Structure 1
Amino acid sequence: MSSEKEQTPPADHCHAVGLIIFILGVGTLLPWNFFMTASQYFNGRLNDANITENGMTKDYNYDSWMALLSQLPLLMFTLLNSFLYQWVKERFRVAFSLVLIFVLFSLTAALVQVPMKPDTFFSVTMATIWFINMCSAVLQGSLFGVVGLFPPRYSTLFMSGQGLAGIFAALAMLLSILSNADKNAAALGYFITPCVATLGTLLCYLMLPHLKFARFYLNRSQTDGLETALTLLNDTVEKSPNQNSKEVMAKETNQQRSSVLAVFKKIWLMAFCVTCVFAVTLSVFPVITVRVQTIYTENEAWKKIFTCVCCFIVFNAMDLLGRSAPSFVQWPSERSLLFPVAVLLRLIFIPLLMFCNVQNSKLPVFFSHDCAFVIIMAMFSFSNGYLASLCMAYAPQFVKNADRETAGSLMTFFLVLGLAVGASFSFLLGRLV
């Protein structure tokens, strides 16, 4: 009776663990979203006083370089985290990453008030983006591994939190645009916001192990492995009383955690799907979508906020809705052939968005009206959030409890691989339009 009672999870009082995991999801994608939605600030500052000797304006191509230098460190360090997580404690990885992200955001905020030459400012910004995404890779990989230890709905909550990070950044940018403050004051307030949010994320993470519900699942993989080893040890001792019991226990305990390759063989389809989802998304967002312009060019107020509202806010709001939807319905199922088919069907959004009212487009415009762009963006972003959330929730179900952290880390790597593939492909699509 006592053993059964110990295996019954305690209640998640006031949904505290769910709320914390949601906040952790917000914290993981804050860096990417704040640098992406700050496109107007960075491009504006780079274009000020950067006239060359020939009177030409130097094009720094901030958006493309930002996407590339965000995804490369994410890819590299997510892969590193997938193989080296056993040698560095998870608490150290998460805490160190959040502290360094806070320092880098603080540096970015401080530089708002520091006059710099465009070339120097561009180099410092790109270096900051590289290092901040390096930390984000370790942070995401570690937290996906932790969340994989909880029931599937907590993976959905984590993904929903990541979706809210985009809305958070987009609304902060909208307020910055609409504020009456000067550009420097608005930018300073914009970058102070993620500093405060990152500190809040760190505090939430430190609180997690102190909650009884969280402790049950965080310790369960180790407990399950130990109990299995003890059972096998007792069976072996009964059959072979002369065998060294310590050697048997050590051998069986080591067998509880599968190799990375063995885990990959079980989740490869989900890994492929999450790669495709994000490759399609980043191939056109934001490189193509930010170039779509309103047909109401005479309305200066709407023209000023069109990109922020119809591109970033619509995308992030519908993406969040998509990430939250699996909490209510999960279709197709994890073993259904319809699931990879639905993922591949998202390729249709690439030409649909390229045929919108893109500024100075080389292609014909089939969807010129603002409403058409908003509808396409809504379906595009909802499917991104929904299918990605299902991928991350389904993958841990293909492996045993002891391998769920490995599965979570691997899925994070393939998620970032999809982002990197999409970012690379966006250079080609950008030239086509």
Structure 2
Amino acid sequence: MDLAPPKDRWRLIYITLLVHGLGTLTAWNMFITARDYFVSYKLKDAPQYANNFMPYLGWAAQVPNLAFSWFNIFVKIGGNLTTRIVWSLCMEVLIFVVTVVLAMVDSSQWPEIFFWLTMVLVFFLNGFNAIFQNTVYGVAARLPPQYTGAVVLGSNICGTLVAFLEWGSASFTGSQRTSAIYYFIVGMFVLLICFDTYFALPLNRFYRYHETLQERTLRVNPALAANQPAAPKRTPYALILKQAAVQLYNIFIVFFVTLTIFPTVHSDIHPMTFKADGGAFDSFLHANFVRLTCFITFNMMAMIGNITASAVQFPSPKWLWLFTTIRILFIPLFLLSNYLPAGRERTLPVLVTNDWAYWALAVVMGWSSGHGSSLGMMYVSGTVAPEHAATAGMIGGATLVTGIVTGITFSRFGAEIVSMDLWRGM
């Protein structure tokens, strides 16, 4: 008997996966956006730690994320998706509780302990988050492609919401301590919402239909009989990687270019034409230049890019590689903007000398990041047989993290490039 395909009434499953997308990047976005809390407040009397906070934070967050992302594909932790999601979310919430407690206490007498304790917390937080993230992509891969897009959309919305949350908490609270407490509590509640909504998925007819459809595909296809629990068959990882190679490249190169620029280079680009005494608008923009042109612009445009990818799947899977490869040009363009890394003397001439032009560049970079990454993640599951779609989705998630780590690593060379003696006299 055929199952009549039900509809996703009120888009409940789409919204649920969007919320889980929020959860996948909550930890990363909240810690990088809270830079002033760590650098200017908690570590203000320890410049040796404050000056290196962002690089250490990037490594502490993304190296375990990378390791666990790939480990989670080849070693089925906990045996099923539910166990992995439940335990990873529980541990993330616990770590956020410890982070809130650290915000409450006075750590001015032990900044070194606070610094390394924060790095340890970030390490484990992102390790558990990697398990959660890849498992969510595995769940979404069972559904039509736009539901994978919902996860990516949620991750892009996360950055925008966190940027405004940080701005609001800094503007409306009397101290950085109070601001940080409320700020991290909100992150904890986002993860709790993800925990609750996951258990609502099996109650929905639309979700049950697609889950049952996948199970029936495995059951009725004789070629897949070996995949049944009685006689498990090894997952053909080599075949999946070969079939999905082009889309995995697209996912990797999008995040490599983006993380090479954002946030390390992007957040150290300073205004040239806006002056603090140039009127109310210029004064406002000058005071919030990095917050507006970097964090808010990037996250908002990445979110819009995800929406456009869901509405129009262009470029097609065949030509997406061209779109993603052209984005490599953003790296030299941002280095040629007024990028002034701390503690370095810039010797490379600034060629992007107008802040409006730089802002336009930031808009296009953010949009293309969201659009390209969404298309890559939406296309990757369709490159393999249906029974391997979940694995392909998880490999796509791990490739995403690989691009992030490689981009963060390469971003460290930005300061070296713009301060080379080679450019003197140009």
Structure 2 equivalent of residue 344 of structure 1: 325
Higher-Rg structure is 1
2:276 is equivalent to residue 298 of structure 1? yes
2:13 is equivalent to residue 17 of structure 1? yes
> Map of 1:307-322 to 2, 5 A cutoff?
307-322=290-305
Superposed CA RMSD in Å reads 2.1
- Once the two structures are superposed, residues 83-138 of structure 1 have per-residue CA deviations (whole angstroms, 9 ceiling, x without a partner) of 11276211010011111111111211111121222211110111111111101110
> Map of 1:25-104 to 2, 5 A cutoff?
25-50=21-46, 59-85=50-76, 88-104=79-95
Counterpart residue identity of residue 342, structure 1: F
Counterpart residue identity of residue 57, structure 2: M
Structure 2 equivalent of residue 186 of structure 1: 179
Question: Following TM superposition, where does structure 1 have runs of at least 4 consecutive aligned residues deviating by more than 6 angstroms?
Answer: 248-253
Structure 2 equivalent of residue 282 of structure 1: 259
> How far 1:15 sits from its partner (Å)?
0.9
Answer whether contact 2:305 2:366 (CA < 8 A) is retained: yes
Gaps of at least 5 residues in structure 2 are: 278-282, 419-426
- Once the two structures are superposed, residues 286-332 of structure 1 have per-residue CA deviations (whole angstroms, 9 ceiling, x without a partner) of 10111112233525643332211110010000000111112211112
Question: TM-score by structure 2 length?
Answer: 0.90
> How far 1:396 sits from its partner (Å)?
0.8
Mark the CA change 1:49 to 1:252 in structure 2 (over 3 Å): closer, same or farther: closer
Mark the CA change 1:87 to 1:259 in structure 2 (over 3 Å): closer, same or farther: farther
Mark the CA change 1:206 to 1:232 in structure 2 (over 3 Å): closer, same or farther: closer
> How far 1:427 sits from its partner (Å)?
1.0
Q: How many pairs were matched up?
A: 406
**Structure 2: distance between partners of 1:391 and 1:254:** 30
Mark the CA change 1:298 to 1:269 in structure 2 (over 3 Å): closer, same or farther: same
- SS of the aligned residue for 1:190 comes to helix
- SS of the aligned residue for 1:29 comes to helix
Counterpart residue identity of residue 326, structure 1: A
Structure 2 equivalent of residue 240 of structure 1: none
Gaps of at least 5 residues in structure 1 are: 52-56, 234-247
- SS of the aligned residue for 1:112 comes to helix
Mark the CA change 1:110 to 1:86 in structure 2 (over 3 Å): closer, same or farther: closer
Mark the CA change 1:251 to 1:21 in structure 2 (over 3 Å): closer, same or farther: closer
Mark the CA change 1:173 to 1:387 in structure 2 (over 3 Å): closer, same or farther: same
> How far 1:63 sits from its partner (Å)?
1.1
> How far 1:79 sits from its partner (Å)?
0.6
Question: TM-score by structure 1 length?
Answer: 0.89
Structure 2 equivalent of residue 236 of structure 1: none
> How far 1:369 sits from its partner (Å)?
2.8
**Structure 1: distance between partners of 2:314 and 2:215:** 32
> Map of 1:358-369 to 2, 5 A cutoff?
358-359=339-340, 361-369=346-354
Structure 2 equivalent of residue 268 of structure 1: 245
2:361 is equivalent to residue 376 of structure 1? yes
Structure 1 equivalent of residue 137 of structure 2: 144
Q: Tell me which of 307, 319, 322 is aligned to 1:324.
A: 307
Counterpart residue identity of residue 45, structure 2: A
Counterpart residue identity of residue 18, structure 1: Y
> How far 1:180 sits from its partner (Å)?
4.3
Instruction: Identify the range of structure 1 (194-203 vs 213-222) with the bigger mean alpha-carbon deviation.
Output: 213-222
**Structure 1: distance between partners of 2:144 and 2:230:** 26
Answer whether contact 1:112 1:184 (CA < 8 A) is retained: yes
Answer whether contact 1:98 1:139 (CA < 8 A) is retained: yes
Structure 2 equivalent of residue 386 of structure 1: 371
Answer whether contact 2:219 2:228 (CA < 8 A) is retained: no
Answer whether contact 1:287 1:430 (CA < 8 A) is retained: no
Counterpart residue identity of residue 367, structure 2: F
**Structure 1: distance between partners of 2:191 and 2:412:** 31
Answer whether contact 1:271 1:411 (CA < 8 A) is retained: yes
Structure 1 equivalent of residue 200 of structure 2: 207
Answer whether contact 2:72 2:134 (CA < 8 A) is retained: yes
**Structure 1: distance between partners of 2:84 and 2:170:** 36
Answer whether contact 1:232 1:252 (CA < 8 A) is retained: no
> How far 1:414 sits from its partner (Å)?
0.8
Q: Among all aligned residue pairs of Structure 1 and Structure 2, give the percentage whose two residues are the same amino acid.
A: 26
> How far 1:431 sits from its partner (Å)?
2.6
